[in-house]
A and B are shown apart, each in its own frame.
Chain A
Amino acid sequence: MDIFGSFALLLAFGAAVYAFGGGIAGILTRRPLLTKTAHNAGMAVLGLVTVAVATIEFGFFTDDFSLSYVSAHSNRALPLYYKFSALWAGQEGSLLFWTWLLSMYAFLALLLNRHKHPELMPYVGVTLAGVQTFFLTLNNFVTNPFRVLGGTDPSGTMHIARLSDGSGLNPLLQYYEMVIHPPVLYLGYTGFTVPFAFAMAALLGRYPGEKWIHITRRWTMVAWCFQTVGILLGAHWAYAVLGWGGYWAWDPVENAALLPWITGTAFLHSVMMQEKRGMMKVWNVWLVFVTFMLCILGTSLTRTGIVSSVHAFAESSIGSWFFTFLGIVFLACLVAWWRNRDYLRSDNQLDSLVSRESSFLFNNLILLAACFAVLWGTLFPVLSEAVTGNKISVGPPFFNRVNVPIALFLLFLTGVGPLLAWRKTSFDALRRNFAWPLAGGFAAGGVALTLGLRSPYPLVCLVLSVFVTLTILAEFYRGGRVIASRDGTGLLTGIGELTMRNTRRYGGYVIHFGMVLIFIGISGSAFSKDTQKEMSVGDTISVGPYTILCQNFDQPSTTNYTSDRATLEIFRHGKSEMMLYPEHRTYLASQVSETIVAVESTPLRDLYVVYAGQSPETGRPVIHAYLNPLVKWIWFGGIVVVLGTGLAMFPHRRSALVFRPAPVTTRANSGAPEAATAGAPFLESRGHD
């Protein structure tokens, strides 16, 4: 089987090289047939990589422990779905998986556009093939997943060894989210390759206008949505499995995923500047370039562990491959931009500080600052070692100090930006749009203050969250009411109609609302409490309103693991509420232990209980209880963001009313702001945001 898989990978490499070389030749010689064969080769890569992936999965399912990768990441007793997910448990498989997802995107991009954009597609094909070639080089020649176990016997003959059982999957990965988190995150990482390819193509082919942005908008949103969900799933996994009571530690791997998300978010906003006003063209091209490079950097940080360990420069040979590739990509971007920079001249300039343009500029500035801070903090150990010889790391205080104010400023812009008019906003319009939401925000802040909320950041976060939510609600309400009164329907029907006529704008609002929920959830972390105690049967500990009574300790076990378990009764304000069973497992195949956290989650707070091990002195079990307020809001906000993204990608409903003049009700509606903001969406259903 290993030979079969290796051959498929090698053929895929050949096809990618042809797609790259043939594509370039096709552009240079202007022969469409050559370009077409190159595209077909690029699409064929998917089939070949699929064969390779299927082969290694077959190895997992049939317990083929002659394959080094299978024996290192699986064992016979492993449940079937974890055998499936073991594909991305280690380096070789992860990179193969990366290539596979990339090939899917490339296949779709080439397939869906095969009869369109004849000036653009040759370059797109070449760019995609270039990236594929790099990853297939790694798959074939650097970290081949089909390496077999073997050895040489005394007589000097080589033979293949087959282990009787594998060493098992890392128990931390034996969690249902680990079956979906890596694919989702990788779909985000790889997805940004498509917008990158189109941006590169538009630049190299000097493709007219803003068309490449229209073509790639949905691709970018797909990738962005996967990246968002991937990050949140990772946070949830850390929360539910690692047992330290939190979901985000500014760990290099987490940061690596956050970086392209930040620049991707900046890009999704700044493209509107280019679409509407013809500004920021250079900026947008570079944002896409940087996002793609950060995806590659993120993958390399994840795969090489260069940052996390002490003096890790020499740890993995694969790091130098990645950095060489990054260097090549950067040079290619630089050359493409420099040679075609006159094509990117801006059509307009900033007219006023109080305008939609300026809110986008600040949004981008602040996002880039966040990105820079996170990147700097993540790479600091590497940079400081290179410059001073000392490896210095920075911890959460660094990241929090910079990013919390940035996040709050972003939240403010989320409320203000969408309601500012393009070019310039009058003071009247400001008052109409913001007076009530602002009053509501401050009222909420006042109530919280009298209730005893004193921490400044959570207080600001609360005021802004209420403010943003009210602006969003007002937008839906105002537009919906106008449509409802004109069509003679109910308000809800009016709001539905409004949303469907401009899914992009109103989907965006839903995403913003989801982000507000996430922000509220994160601000809850300022009020986390925890307590830890050695406990015998009959002992109690208290955290917040809860009292935990220890009822029993036992040792349940299965074929896969043995376990220490506590049976705890939870009292709230003296009343018995529920039982929790935190566990501490040791997996038999790997002899690795894992904490199984017991969480009671409510919208207001999570009670998070960990069986932390046995006290070294007394041998008695230690129970660690955390009270984490509002955590559930983060996960719920994530769901809202996904729904909003889905809505924003939904095609606009073309309305028969598009060209009708504004009905009188618009004017009479005292709440309606100037036509440039809320008046337009229901008059012109196309792309107003």
Chain B
Amino acid sequence: MRAQKKFLVGSAIIVVTLSALAYVGYTQSKTYYHTISELSTLPGPELRQRMRVSGNVRAGSISHRDGRVDFVLEEQGQALPVSYVGTDPLPDTFKDGAQALVEGRLEPDRFIAEQVQAKCASKYEASPNSAPGAPTQPQPNPTPGQSKNESRGWSAEKG
């Protein structure tokens, strides 16, 4: 019995330590996902957290300025001005009309993005004349996009 008790004590120490580490890691890296329309309804503290927002890049809104790239994200009629301040070149899929996922913080007048992922939405959609009788759903693969930092966009592809 003594050995079992010792083992339980050892296990408890391990589990508690790991939980503490997990909690620290969680507070360091948690990121909220929001839609643009949700942003206006968020309470104050949540607005200051690190978050991810997705939308479509408004055609003609991309402008390169000194050290940053400005553009406007749109979703369901709502618009969000974004400034990309990251160091990596933007992904090639980042174009007018592309679906983009930006990560960063919300400032009073605009969203400051440190990372931008983009998926080019047009290419992998269902062909307009899909089979009669078959549901006209988009191809289930999330459209594979190119991003420099993460492999999420095409994660569904890699098996």
Contact = CB atoms under 8 A, between A and B. Distances in A.
**Interface-centre pick from B89, B120, B127 (highest chain A CB count, 10 A):** B89
Given A305-B155, A397-B29, A402 B21 contact: yes
Contacts of B46: 390
A209 B157 CA distance: 43
Contacts of B159: 88, 94, 181-182, 185-186, 234, 302
Nearest to B1: A349
A532 B127 CA distance: 40
Contacts of B18: 369, 373, 402, 405-406
A353 B10 contact: yes
A369 B120 CA distance: 39
Interface stretch (A280-288, A441-449, A615-623): A615-623
A303 B3 contact: no
A108 B96 CA distance: 53
B26 to A, nearest CB: 5
A400 B24 CA distance: 11
A393 B52 contact: yes
A584 B149 CA distance: 16
A303 B154 CA distance: 11
Contacts, number: 227
A401 B32 CA distance: 20
A365 interface: yes
B148 A143 contact: no
Interface string A76-94: 0000000000001111101
Interface in B122-139: 123-124, 126-127, 129-132, 134, 137, 139
A251 B90 contact: no
B22 A402 contact: yes
A178 B154 CA distance: 13
B60 to A, nearest CB: 16
B110 interface: no
B82 to A, nearest CB: 15
Q: Is the interface of A mostly helix, strand, loop or mixed?
A: mixed
B65 to A, nearest CB: 9
B158 A308 contact: no
Contact of A401 (B11, B24, B127): B24
Interface string B58-101: 00000010100100000000000000000111101100000001
Nearest to A312: B142
A353 B3 contact: yes
Contact of A163 (B17, B127, B137, B154): B127
Interface stretch (A31-39, A241-249, A451-459): A241-249
A397 B25 contact: yes
Contacts of B4: 349-350
B89 A172 contact: no
A528 interface: no
Contact of B149 (A150, A178, A244, A398): A244
B152 A361 contact: no
Contact of B26 (A161, A398, A406): A398
B111 to A, nearest CB: 14
Given A72-B139, A405-B17, A252 B158 contact: no
B97 to A, nearest CB: 13
Given A251-B155, A253-B158, A308 B142 contact: yes
A358 B6 CA distance: 10
A657 interface: no
A251 B157 contact: no
Contacts of B141: 90-91
Contacts of A393: 30-31, 33, 52
A152 interface: yes
Interface string B1-40: 1011011001100110110011011101111111100000
Contacts of A385: 33
B44 interface: no
A305 B142 contact: yes
A243 B123 contact: no
Contacts of A94: 159
Contacts of A529: none
B22 A401 contact: yes
Interface string A221-255: 00000000000001001100011100001011100
Interface in A146-185: 147-152, 158, 161, 163, 167, 170, 172-173, 178, 181-182, 185
Contacts of A391: 32-34
Given A242-B151, A393-B31, A590-B123, A150 B129 contact: yes
Given A251-B150, A365-B14, A143 B140 contact: yes
Contact of B29 (A310, A349, A352, A398): A398
A170 B124 CA distance: 9
A395 B32 CA distance: 11
B64 A150 contact: no
A684 to B, nearest CB: 27
Interface in A644-659: none
B35 to A, nearest CB: 7
A285 B142 CA distance: 36
A251 B22 contact: no
Contacts of A215: none
A396 interface: yes
B80 to A, nearest CB: 13
B151 A401 contact: no
Contacts of A91: 139-141, 156
A355 B123 CA distance: 60
Contacts of B56: none
Given A302-B155, A616-B89, A310 B26 contact: no
A409 B30 CA distance: 26
A612 interface: yes
Given A390-B32, A401-B24, A310 B54 contact: yes
A150 B22 contact: no
Contacts of B6: 353
Contact of A170 (B15, B92, B157): B157
Interface string A493-518: 00000000000000000000000000
5 contacts: A91-B156, A158-B132, A310-B34, A394-B26, A398-B29
What 6 pairs across the A-B complex have the smallest Cβ distances? A182-B159, A151-B129, A398-B25, A401-B25, A613-B89, A395-B29
Interface of B: 1, 3-4, 6-7, 10-11, 14-15, 17-18, 21-22, 24-26, 28-35, 46, 52-54, 64, 66, 69, 87-90, 92-93, 101, 120, 123-124, 126-127, 129-132, 134, 137, 139-142, 144, 146, 148-159
